[in-house]
Every structure is written in structure tokens, then in C-alpha cells.
A and B are shown apart, each in its own frame.
Chain A
Amino acid sequence: MNNNTIKINNYLQNEMNAEERAAFEILLATDKELQYELEVQRNIVNAAINAGMKAEFAKAIRQKIIVRRFIQWGSILLVAIVVLLIFIFRDNIFTRRAKVEESKQAVILSDKPFITPPSAIINIPYSEYSLDAAKGDTIYYPSGSILCFPANAFVDGSGNIIKGTVNITYREFADPIDFFVSGVPMDYDSAGVKYNFESSGMCEINAYKDNKPIFVNQQAQPQINLSTNNRDPKHNLYYLDTVRRNWKFIGKDKITEVKDLVKVKTPEMENISKGRAGNVSYESDMNDYELLPLIPKPIKATPGRQAFSIEIEPGSFEELFIYNKQKFEVIDETTYKRSDADEHWDNMKLDKSITEGIYIVTFTNTRRTVAYKVRPVLSGTDYDAALKLFNEKNQVYDQKKNNRIVKEKIVADSIISSNKQADEKFKADKERNEELNRLIIARNKKLREMQQQQKETLAKQLKANEDAAKEQQRIWDQQAEAAKAQQLIFEKQQQKFEKDNSLSLEIVRTFGITSFGYWNCDRPQYPRELITIQAIFTYDNNTLILPSASVAYRGFNGVVPFAYLAPIRVFTGRENMILGINDGLFYYFSYKNFAALGITKDTKKVTFNMQRAEKPFSSYVDIRSFIERL
């Protein structure tokens, strides 16, 4: 083979000009060897291209294999590492899981505001009032509660007394629906033990001057007369410390039953009527005194005077058995015949005379009857022994007598003091009750006015509805429905105020407030029937997240909220209801459905397939009327 490599290369690579190419092709047409050489070189070039292509695919395959192996071995290694780590830290992982869950809850809870209503739109609205701070005023809330603001009841942050108009916002929480929608925590921590609050009345009061919060003047504290129907004296007064996130025990409120106004009988008065004053009981002391023995002083026999012995029936004259060997000395010897001592007598009778220590002894037989005035006497050593006994007994008697005199004085002083205190208290209670009575009469008048105003407003709305265009009708109907619902609640509240002093169910709980905020008349409870269960919520068979599920218990005026995933506490043997809000929609598990589950104290986990209100509620009145129908 000749070396035409360069020429052939130029020909194959189109690197010849037209003349060169034409000359090469003329030569190629006749030169067999050149043809062969061209064919060989063309195949070599194609082999190089083929090899290049194959190398590209080989490279791509290698990369693919490397990536695949990396993923495979990487996955295996990762799984191995995870398994190894789980094995090494298995104890920590499993023990910490619960803690992590708890801490998650804690984080969730601590990150959340302390008071978290499930939905702002359904929260209880505030009632707003204005008053002259310098003069003070009395506010009548539709529930029947009365707020009394004395003159100069407000101070600013520096303690300066505020003058001019101040604004008051006030609202009350009366039952589980109110507690649920408000999101106010209803648990109480005492010495590390969590209790549920059962409320007999709760309220929130705030005061503002020019839209800035103001404070209570401790020298002129406002007074709240909370209208309720719970007279339980075991309920205490608590204030919600929103900084420390707990309820603070304040003390006791004053409880007044409205129908008994001015007829209050204080416990002290009752004690006195029973004969007790304070801690001193004189009944038992008087009994001690009455049981003191009355020992007659022994009388020495008169020398030479007639005396005789007789047998006395045991138990008839106890004073004659105190001393041994007593004889009966005849007082008037002129009536006595010495021969009578020798006569046989069938009967002997002893009687007390009208004179202390003198007896009449009567002897009878078939022939005659004789009687003598006598006195018991002792002689010689018998008298001495009797006198000694008398002196001993008399000493004890005198001691007891002295004690009695002292005690009687104490009792007398105590009674006088108690009577004085009772009088003062009765007077104070009377004054308070009279004042409260006056307030309630004024309140009821005010409420009737408000009710009338409400009715007129409603009538105007209804009239407006009739006149409205058809398109507007639907909107007005909704408003009218809401107004009716409001009216229904209002009328319900009004029922207990229809008669001034015959309000048999109304209880007024009175307390002064030291701060603005949440005040609660409550009793912390931890009923034994409460059990803890793990709750899973579903709706339409899909898992449901309820960020704030709450449980209400019928007959227990409280509600217990539970964070998402936290166990819930339910009453076995009582009616329970679960309430929750998710994405603005109200979910519930009714008393009836709950009862059907048959939860016992051994139940650990329950799936609650919740029901849902058809549409989101637009107001507190909306949700209230819905839940009340359940």
C-alpha cells in the first residue's frame, strides 16, 4: 500500500479544492490500489467514529452504574446507621418520646396566648359603659349584676386619681358554653395538683381612659354584685393573673339570697339563740354546777336532850345517808313521853317539814298515833368524823362554786360581746341588704326599660322587614332571627327579675375588686369519677384535628379544655359533651352519643366520630342558640 494517507484524508475531509478533487477522482477511477487504500482509510475513520461513540456509551453506563451503586450502598449505609443509632440510643429514644410529646404540648401551650378563644367571632361580646370617674356610678348589666363604682375609683399608672369620663368594658361567663367560647382557663393549680373549676359566676371587667388602661384606686374599690343562682358557700373568689398564668385565691365573697333580703340571720345570732356564744359553751358548765352535792352541815347532839334511832328506807332521804350513825333529836320535848320509846309501833313514817333540816317522824299502832319534830344529830366521835367529811366536801363545793361564778361571768361577758357584735353585724348586713335591695329594685326597673327598648327595636326591625324589598328580605330575615335569638336570651335572663322581691332563685355574690381583669367565684374540684382517656377525633371517617377540644359535664358548671393530642378527662357515669372548633367550623359529640359509647373506668382509648354544624357561626348568639338545642 502506498502512502496516500494525507491525500485520502484531504479527500475524505473535503479539504481539497475543486481542481485537486477532480484530479484525485480521475486517478481514483483507474488506480485499483488507491481505491483499496481509500476504502481502508474510510473504514478506519468509521472505526474511530464507532469507537468514539462506543466510548461515550461506555462512559454513560459507568456513570449510571456508579450513581446506582452510590444510591444502593448509600441507602444501605443510611439504614444501617439509623438502625445502629436506634440500637445505641434505644432507651433514650423511647423514654424521651413521651417527654418530647409532653414538651411539644408544653411548647404549644406556652407559645399560645394564655387566654385562647377557639374563634374570635363567637366570643362573648363586651358591654361598654361610660361614667364620670369623679362622681362614680352604678352599672346594671343585663344578667342582673350590679357594678358599683364609688367616686374616684380609678387611678393611672402613677397612682394619680383620674377625673373625667372613663370607659368600662364588662362581660360575664355563666355556663359551660360561655367558658368554651371565651377560652378562659378553668383549671386551678394548688400545691402541684390540678383541679377543675366549677364556677358560680365569672366576669371580666376593664377600664380605660382615652383608650389607655387604667387601674383600681385601692382607697375606693369598685364593687361587683354578681347575679347568679349558686349559693354554695364553699366557692371562693379568684382573680386571674394573666402574667403568671394562674388563678390567684383572693378569699370569700358575700352571698345574699335576694328573696331573703333584710331577713338575714347571722351565724352568731343563731349561736346565741342556741345558748352558745363564740367558742364558749355555757350549757355544759351550768350542768356541772347543778350537779354539785348539797351537803348539810352535821349537827352536834344537845346534851341531855331526847334522841332516838330509826331505820330509814334506802333512797328515800339521800342527805340522811351522808353521815353514819345519825340520830333524831326531839326538838320540842314537851310533846315527848319517855314511855313511847318502849311501846310497840307498827309503822314509822318520816317526812320533811317546811323548815330546812327539820323532819317529822310519825309512829302508829292499832291503838294510837304520835308525831315528833326531829332533826338529825351526831354525838362524840361520830360528830367529829361527820364534821371532817363535811369540811372536805364543802371545800370542793366552794371551789366549784367559785369556778362557776368565774365561768358565768365569762359567759355573760361573751354573750354581751357577741350580742354587741351580732347587733353591729346585723346592722351592717341590714344596711348592706337595704342598699342591695335598693340596687336590685333600681336594676329591675332599668332592665325592664332595656327590655322594652329591646322589644321596640325588634318591632322596628320586624316592621322594616315587612317594608323591605324581596331581595333584601332574606338578609332581614337573618337579622330578625338573630334579634329573636338575642331577645330569647334576654327574656330568659329577664324571667328571674320579673318580681322585685320574690326572686326565689337569685343569688347575689358581692365582692370588691383590687384590679381589673377576670374575677371568678369558683370551687376547685377533682372528682374521683374523672378518668383520663386518649381521644382520637374523626369527622366523616377522616382524622380531625381539634386544636382546642373541650369537655363539658352536665350538672358541673365548668368546662375543661385539652390541647391537641393531649389525653382528655371524662366523667364516668355522668353526661359528657365534647366541643371543638376547627377552621371556623363547630364540631361536637353530644351527651346522647357519649352515653352510647359506654365508657367505663377501664376505657383507655376512644375514637370520637364528631358531628359538625352545617355552617360557621357568625356570633356568640348563633353558637349559643345552636348548643342549647343539642
Chain B
Amino acid sequence: MTEEEIIEHLQNNKYSTALKGLYNVLPLAKKYITTNNGTTDDAADIFQDALVILCKKVKEGNLTLTVPLKTYLMGIVKNCWLQELRLRKKLPQGETNNDLPSIEVNEEPGFVLAKAAFDLLGEKCRQLLILFYFKKESFKNIATALAFSDEKIAKNQKYRCLQKAKENYVTLSNNGNHE
């Protein structure tokens, strides 16, 4: 699969197809992360984050390739892992790996806090918000998928989940966990 085809699949939300062209980066990511204080689970998680960042760059038109796409993806993996290590306070600020390109992955503090707040939601709330905002499903389908009695309840439940996430955000913000 060519780089152009991978990018086209990402633009068209064909994540599974696009992954076929990028999957062989996963072993490299695992190797990199496991040799830098991480586990294979960390590697899998970071690799997924890197794919999301790549996908967003593609969709937002911010992708400027100066290296092969797979090397670019590995650059994202490296920076994501360094950021994670900084969060875990395991890596001194400013340490880099010169073998891989440095791809900008720094996310706004508010977004990082929002991700944490979202992760604190219950499974059903997370599914509901994903179905509504990412999959853009109707309340009727959401009610069916999540076993609500009707779409009105699904709609109300959505606002409750959103409200809960905001509350989590405020709580996390007040606790200073976003750093």
C-alpha cells in the first residue's frame, strides 16, 4: 500500500484499511518503548495514540511529510512516549532521541485534561458520547445499541454524561492533575 493510499484511507475514516499499511510500525514502536522504560501494553496504547494524532493531522491538513510516512509515525510514537514519560516524571525534561524525527504532538493542557476527564466516565457514558460525537449515530440507534428504552432517555443520558465529564474536568483542574 502506498503512502498516498494510506492517507486517503485515513481521510475517508477507513481506519482498519489504513492500519494494514502502518501495522508493521507496531513492532518498531514496541521495541522502542520497551527499551525506554515502557511495557508492551504501553507500546500498544502509545501506538494507538500516535495513529490518532496522525489521523487528525491528515484530517486537519496539517501533515507535511519530509520523511517516509512510517518514519513520521515512529516520530509521533517517540514524542508521545517522551510526553508520557514526562507525565510519569521518569524522563528529564528535554531528553530526545536523535534517530527519529521530532514530530510536534504537544496537545493543549485543556485537551489533555478533557481526555482524562472523559476516561473517568463510566463505560456506558463513554460509549454514548463516542457514538454521538464520533460515530454521529442518531439517538434512536444509540438507544438500541446501549439498551435504552427510547431515544429521549438516550438524549437525556447524553447530557448527563456530558455534564459528568465537565464535572470531572473541573475536579481534575482543581486538583492540578493536568500537569
Listed in ascending order, the chain A residues whose CB lies under 8 Å from chain B are 1, 3, 5-6, 9, 37, 39-41, 43-61, 63-64
Contact = CB atoms under 8 A, between A and B. Distances in A.
Contact of A47 (B55, B111, B135): B111
Given A46-B111, A46-B114, A55 B20 contact: no
B16 to A, nearest CB: 4
Interface of B: 15-16, 19-20, 23, 26, 44, 47-49, 51-52, 55-56, 108, 110-111, 113-115, 117-119, 126, 129-130, 132-135, 159, 162-163, 165-167, 169-170
B118 A57 contact: no
Nearest to A6: B159
A423 B113 CA distance: 134
Contact of A64 (B23, B110, B130, B170): B23
B23 A44 contact: no
A57 B13 CA distance: 11
B48 A52 contact: no
B118 A44 contact: yes
Contacts of B165: 44, 47
Contacts of B110: 39-40, 43
Which of B51, B108, B119 has the most chain A CB atoms inside 10 A of its CB? Answer: B51
A48 B132 CA distance: 9
Contacts of A39: 110
B134 A52 contact: yes
B52 A53 contact: yes
Contacts of A41: 162, 166
Given A57-B19, A60-B15, A52 B114 contact: no
Nearest to B162: A5
A43 B20 contact: no
A51 B16 CA distance: 16
A44 B169 contact: yes
Given A6-B159, A51-B126, A57 B133 contact: no
Nearest to B130: A52
A3 B162 contact: no
The winner among A5, A39, A56 for most chain B CB atoms within 10 A is A56
B151 to A, nearest CB: 16
A6 B19 CA distance: 36
Nearest to A52: B134
Q: Interface SS of chain A: helix, strand, loop or mixed?
A: helix
Contacts of A55: 130
A1 B48 CA distance: 33
Q: Which 6 A-B pairs have the closest CB atoms?
A: A52-B134, A43-B114, A47-B118, A52-B130, A48-B129, A60-B16
B45 to A, nearest CB: 9
Contacts of A61: 19, 23, 26, 44, 47-48
Contact of B130 (A5, A46, A48, A63): A48
Given A6-B159, A46-B114, A37 B166 contact: yes
B16 A44 contact: no
B126 A53 contact: no
Contacts of A64: 19-20, 23
B111 A43 contact: yes
A333 to B, nearest CB: 154
Contacts of A50: 52, 56, 115
A51 B130 contact: yes
Contacts of B48: 54, 57-58, 61
B147 to A, nearest CB: 19
A50 to B, nearest CB: 6
B113 A43 contact: yes
Contact of B134 (A5, A37, A53, A57): A53
Given A54-B49, A57-B48, A58-B48, A44 B26 contact: no
A51 B133 CA distance: 10
Contacts of A43: 108, 110-111, 113-114, 169
A3 to B, nearest CB: 7
B130 A60 contact: no
Contacts of A56: 15-16
B15 to A, nearest CB: 4
Contacts of B119: 51
B172 to A, nearest CB: 11
Contacts of A1: 166-167, 170
24 contacts: A1-B166, A43-B108, A44-B117, A44-B129, A44-B169, A46-B114, A47-B114, A48-B126, A49-B134, A50-B56, A50-B115, A51-B118, A51-B119, A52-B130, A53-B52, A53-B134, A54-B49, A56-B15, A56-B16, A58-B48, A60-B16, A60-B19, A61-B19, A64-B20
A35 to B, nearest CB: 12
A220 B21 CA distance: 88
A207 B132 CA distance: 92
Given A43-B169, A44-B165, A53-B52, 10 more contacts: A5-B166, A9-B162, A40-B170, A43-B110, A43-B113, A43-B114, A47-B165, A50-B52, A57-B52, A61-B47
